[in-house]
Chains A and B, each alone.
Chain A
Amino acid sequence: SAVISQKPSRDICQRGTSLTIQCQVDSQVTMMFWYRQQPGQSLTLIATANQGSEATYESGFVIDKFPISRPNLTFSTLTVSNMSPEDSSIYLCSGSGTVELNTEAFFGQGTRLTVV
């Protein structure tokens, strides 16, 4: 099955700084998504990462705060910009649409972010 390698797995950052999270898939995927998960809460979709074009953001999330890149079908990054303690959360990337897994959605291992 396809595997997403997500880095870093965790980080502690100072407020006002930015962190870039990377996801590398071991095969081409049609769709990639970025989610946020607060402790004890459901996954909230931040945006759909579109290959070669601007990401599609969900309500409440903006490109200036969460710039996303997807230069090809196996790689995407999410940047959390100008961080504040409210950005402390788990960030997860997801892929779907591979030849082997068809439509199943699978996830990276997550990035546990703490902003101090």
Chain B
Amino acid sequence: RKEVEQDPGPFNVPEGATVAFNCTYSNSASQSFFWYRQDCRKEPKLLMSVYSSGNEDGRFTAQLNRASQYISLLIRDSKLSDSATYLCVVRRGSTLGRLYFGRGTQLTVWP
């Protein structure tokens, strides 16, 4: 079983839509959780960390369910510029330890 599993996508949504991505992780010892964004032919960049209580950053809301080992990302009022691949990322143990990446979910927002 893979360390991190994500919705395969792709997701194609109109501008203004709300879209949700899901992710599960296999190791209950995982301590830190992130969503990264990767544009085509670019490096991944941190979108947001995911905290146990859930957190919001503008149009983006992340949720963590430790009991179910489940992470989600909600994007409201989608913009064309949100088109990218979204990577679910998990860190096990040490705060500076290695990261485990999901395969990524591709989002295309159309006008």
A binds B: yes
Say yes or no: B46 contacts A106, CB within 8 Å.
yes
Take A48-B98, A103-B96 as given contacts and tell me if A42 and B46 are in contact as well, using a CB distance cutoff of 8 Å: no
Total number of B residues with any Cβ neighbor in A under 8 Å:
21
A-B pairs under 8 A by CB, number: 45
Residues of chain B in range 59-111 having any CB-CB distance to chain A below 8 Å: 87, 89, 91, 95-96, 98-99, 101-104
Do B42 and A42 touch across chains, with their CB atoms under 8 A apart? no
0/1 interface trace, chain A 5-30, chain B, CB 8 Å (1 if under): 00000000000000000000000001
Q: Which residues does chain A contribute within 8 Å of B98, judged by CB atoms?
A: 33, 45, 48
User: Taking chain A's interface residues, is the majority helix, strand, or loop, or is none over half, making it mixed?
Assistant: strand
Distance between B61 CB and nearest chain A CB, rounded to angstroms: 19
Which chain A residue lies CB-closest to B4? Answer: A42
> What are 9 A-to-B residue pairs whose CB atoms are below 8 Å?
A42-B4, A43-B101, A94-B99, A103-B95, A104-B46, A107-B45, A109-B42, A109-B43, A112-B41
